[in-house]
Amino acid sequence: MSSYTDFTGKVVVITGGSRGLGQAMGLGFAECGASVVVSSRDASHCREAVAAIAAQGGRAAAVPCHVGRWQGLEGLVDGVLAVFGRIDVLINNAGTAPTAPASLAVSEELFDKIVAVNFKGPFRLSALVAERMRADGGGVIINISSLAAIKPDPAYPVYAAAKAALNALTRSHAMEFGPSIRVNAIMAGPFWTDMSQSWRDQYERNAPSAVRRMGRPEEVVSTALYLASPRSTYTTGAIVQVDGGIL
């Protein structure tokens, strides 16, 4: 049974890994023996997340990167390879979800920023990493999507559309990169993170889900571990919904 969660010798790269779901997954994979690469725009936050992993006895490194900037992604891959020499698991977790009062109020700059971080970055980074994974015998890519992809809201139409595109990309890349590379997505519902800070208390009081509350970041970890593990070798192109039972 230990093989379910034994990631000794594996290298796991997590974008948006310095806080929220990314930080929780980093701690979880490190606890299971993986070497974790924490990446986000803020170098100081990356170092703090690495320190937290080290404090629990794990191995980690910080490789800061803005995933919404196409030209910088090769540097992220090169940085990881320089430290650990390989990439076994890529978790495309970085995301941004600014709101606007109406679609007419969304500027082109804001539109492009949302699409770049939530869709364009994962597209390009997956392509770069898959090339290296294939050369090394295979690997796993996990995209962190959102329930907004299938339950969009007028407050964040661009974010919802970008996550829907990420779902489609998951299936497309599973076919393109297989059989040696598996690609799946976790379609996350509301979680108690910094991204939900402005509305999480109100949601928690009347959560429209079977568990009647918002998820905690650590509750996504077991799903990520399963999808990354050799126990899920027949699972690819899947969109796994983790939302507490929202109908």
- Cis ω for the linkage preceding 179 (within 30 of 0): yes
How many angstroms separate the CA atoms of 204 and 67, rounded?
Answer: 31
Contacts of 32 (CB under 8 A, 6+ apart): 5, 6, 7, 8, 225
Provide the residue type at 46 as one letter. C
Query: Which residues, listed in sequence order, are joined to residue 187 by a DSSP beta bridge?
Result: 145, 241
Phi, psi of 141 (to 5 degrees): -120, 130
Q: Which stretches within 102-242 are classed as H helix?
A: 108-115, 121-135, 157-177, 200-205, 221-228
Length of the chain: 247
Number of Cα atoms under 13 Å in the Cβ half of residue 112? 5
Catalytic residue (choose from 4, 156, 159, 203): 159
Residue 46 is given by DSSP the state H
Please say if 159 is a catalytic residue: yes
Residues recognised as catalytic: 159
